[in-house]
Amino acid sequence: MSLTDNELRDVVKLLESGKPLPDEYRFKLFADKREVELVWNGKTNEVCNIVLPFQVIEQVDEPREETKKSLQGDLFDMRGRQKSDWTNKLIWGDNKLILSSLKNGPLREEIEANGGIKLIYIDPPFDVGADFSMDIEVGDEQFHKQPTVLEELAYRDTWGKGADSFIAMICERLSLMRDLLAQDGSIFVHCDWRVSGYMRLIMDEVFGVNNFRNEIIWKRGTVKGAKAKGYQLARNHDTIEYYSKSESCMYNRLFLPFSDDYKTRFKKNDNDGKGNYRDDQPIGTRSVSSIEEMKKTGKVFLDANGKLKIKTYLSELDGIVMDDNWTDISEVNVMSIERADYPTQKPESLLTRIMEIASNEGDIVADFFCGSGTTLAVAEKLNRKWIGSDLGKFAIHTTRKRMIGTQRQLKESGKNYRAFEILNMGRYAREHYVGINPNLNDDQKQQQIAQREQDFMDLIIKAYRAEHSEGFKTFQARKNGRMISVGPINLPVTRLFVEEVLKECIEKQITRVDILAFEFEMGLFPKIQEEAKDRGIDLALKYIPRDVFDKRAIEKNQVVFNDVSYIEIKPKVKGRSVAIELVGFSVFYNQDTIDNAAESIKGSGTKLVVQNGQIIKVSKTATGIINTEIITKKWTDWIDYWSVDFDFESKKEIIRKKKEDGEGYEELWTGDYIFENEWQSFRTKKDRSLDLTSAFNEFLTKGSHKIAVKVVDIFGNDTMKVIEINI
């Protein structure tokens, strides 16, 4: 540190008066070898190192043709399920926690055993106006799906504060991605004019200038489709920053086909079977020995001026070496079969090129902002293993449908494909949000848990807009004449829990109750409500949304607690075979009101609202007359997807947690079972029809079997029902 006496006095005075130091002192006080450094408000070198266990909530393995099962070896059982080797992973949740848990947790061993992650592609959300909104088909109408509160507040409001908040967010995640990459791995980060300048500097900061490979310019479409505003040129390209983890990285050189104009230069032909050639290239600086060898083959000759020239045959060339200016890939066409109507969707051809450059068959590729699943679909088609994640529940659902569609395409063409599983960190993520310090001793943990759970209870009650109540065993609040019971933070609400609630209702003559929970024991609804009704109790079960963990959402009264949906099914048994018919589905959503919608319409127009489980179109004429029309004509209008597990409880959900002594991991059963998706029917953009009866599935043994049915509604929320049949 080289400060003069005067500078030292100035520093002390500024610090004593609480004033900031001029920028020049940062370099004088803190020596740093870097000549250029990216600095932002709140910059820190701290990177998340939390490890949370992943929960497998669903495994998807499309039934294979019987004739192919014998060819699958030991990777698959007799029912076509994948038993061993890598299973692709689609993860729902905050990618900071996901990346940290992948990097530091037991799943890292599985990743490394499969060669590590060779390629990461991300297209992080940066458009605060459109990244999470979607148009959903409802009958003959389109319902504009706004982002969930969590998506809106976690992404838009945070990033909308300015460049420093975006840089802080992406920098930490890029650091985690760098550490996850294989030593010869690469990363491609997609951005547009809004953040491309920042992104290049951030990537230099995280990956190092020496590991910069290319700044790829992707021309999205035609100039006709690019709009210019005011005094500016039409914006018609995106930027893809390409970096590697080390200076030695995997790279496959790609070539583009020759243009017709280029081919016209190869006009001459000696009719010797070698094809057309051009002879205007000088011999250059080739060695004498190589020139003599080429003379023997007739490729070197003297031109009219006595200069040595070389014949270049078109058939010997692979094509034009690909550069970093990509003008031959268009955006996803409106009529394209791959179009998922996802706002940030990129064309599969773009991801195909990236994957072919920086990965090989069998490699793991990852996308931690997977959106509609383009990266994963391309990886599946190119025989790559994959990991994808997204914060948006609807994005995960869209990707699930797309990947099943991709599996079906591969199956029809006789190609192999892998099972994939859907994971989250559910209850464990909630423990993290509540804020338990894992480094405390057991007594301190219990004290902190008690305090945090009370804080959590206060948070839920406030979000539900209820009032605290004292003097009850199972109730914590009341609202509009109904008692409120909040389930545990890290466990599903069980039948035993509900029985205790009902017992207190009878003791104290309470007739109306709401139970709020993150999860309910499978098969609990609607049977428990029917039992409560027989006892004279109006019982409502409501899901606590993840949005409650954002205090701003609570302050804005934006948190919506949805009722548990109702599924009605009927098994059809023929001998040892069974099929499932879906005969009923009810939802009880409320989102906005007719009055609010009418008031928000300026002049004339229409708006869709959700009220009492119905989507209603509110119309307003120029004269102010309000008309309403129910859009959801029948119960099937609410269903986007449904699937069946014909042998539920055959596969326990096992998690791996680090042992208390820190040496290795132990496997623990969570008490839950994995839903194995064996048959499904869902709507697509091209086909809005839905099969309401599954295919028959043959059971090989007599006796009792549990069958689980999962329904996903048009908002992406899922409900499950379990029944028991005898064969």
For the segment 373-431, what is each residue's pLDDT rounded down to a tens digit? 999 999 999 999 999 999 888 889 999 999 999 998 888 888 888 889 999 886 677 67
Which tens digit of pLDDT belongs to each residue from 504-562? 999 999 999 999 998 787 667 777 888 999 999 999 999 887 678 777 777 777 787 87
Please state which of the ranges 153-157, 370-374, 396-400 shows the lowest mean pLDDT.
153-157
Query: Which of 407, 380, 402 shows the shortest CA–CA distance to 64?
Result: 407
pLDDT at 165: 77
Which tens digit of pLDDT belongs to each residue from 33-77? 556 677 777 777 889 998 888 989 899 975 433 333 334 445 554
pLDDT at 216: 97
pLDDT at 223: 54
Please state which of the ranges 316-330, 452-466, 590-604, 683-697 shows the lowest mean pLDDT.
590-604
- Model confidence, pTM: 0.81
Alpha helices in 535-662, H assignment, sequence order: 551-555, 594-600
Is the pLDDT assigned to residue 581 strictly greater than 70?
yes
* CA dihedral of residues 50, 56, 57, 61 (deg, nearest 10): 140
pLDDT at 34: 59
**In terms of DSSP bridges, do strands 538-543 and 512-517 run parallel, antiparallel, or are they unpaired?**
parallel
Is the pLDDT assigned to residue 144 strictly greater than 60?
yes
- HSE-CB at 56 with a 13 A cutoff on CA atoms is 23
Query: Which of 263, 271, 257 shows the shortest CA–CA distance to 314?
Result: 263
Which tens digit of pLDDT belongs to each residue from 199-241? 999 999 999 999 999 999 999 876 555 666 778 888 889 999 9
Rounded Cα distance between 56 and 649, Å, is: 13
Q: Can you tell me the mean pLDDT for 275-280?
A: 82
Is the pLDDT assigned to residue 14 strictly greater than 60?
yes
- HSE-CB at 344 with a 13 A cutoff on CA atoms is 26
Distances, alpha carbon 23 to alpha carbons 20, 30, 37, 198, in Å: 9, 11, 13, 20
Please state which of the ranges 218-232, 259-273, 274-288, 364-378 shows the lowest mean pLDDT.
218-232
Kindly indicate the confidence band of residue 134, based on its pLDDT and cuts at 50, 70 and 90: low
Six token digits for residue 453:
């759970």
pLDDT at 33: 56
- Enumerate residues 6+ apart whose C-beta is below 8 A from 500: 473, 474
Q: Cα–chain-centroid distance for residue 301?
A: 60
User: 98-109 burial by CB neighbour count: b if 16+ within 10 A, else e?
Assistant: bbbbbbbbbbbe
Query: Which of 103, 107, 239 shows the shortest CA–CA distance to 174?
Result: 103
Percent of the chain with pLDDT over 70: 85
Q: Can you tell me the mean pLDDT for 80-105?
A: 84
Query: Which of 672, 157, 137 shows the shortest CA–CA distance to 398?
Result: 137
638, with CB counted inside 10 A (0-12, 13-18, 19+), is buried
3-state SS string for 191-213: ECCCCHHHHHHHHHHHHCHHHEE
Q: Can you tell me the mean pLDDT for 682-709?
A: 88
pLDDT at 63: 46
State whether residue 659 is helix, strand or coil.
coil
pLDDT at 224: 54
For each of the domains in the chain, give its residue range(s) and CATH number, in order of start.
55-254+322-424 (3.40.50.150), 256-321 (no CATH), 431-563 (3.40.1340), 566-726 (no CATH)
Kindly indicate the confidence band of residue 120, based on its pLDDT and cuts at 50, 70 and 90: very high
Rounded Cα distance between 460 and 551, Å, is: 10
Q: Please, what is the angle between helix 163-180 and helix 196-207, to 10°?
A: 40
3-state SS string for 5-62: HHHHHHHHHHHHCCCCCCCHHHHHHCCCCCCCCCCCCCCCCCCCCCCCCCEEEEEECC
Tell me the average pLDDT of the chain.
83
116: enclosing H helix or E strand: none
Rounded Cα distance between 529 and 515, Å, is: 11
Six token digits for residue 1:
């540190």
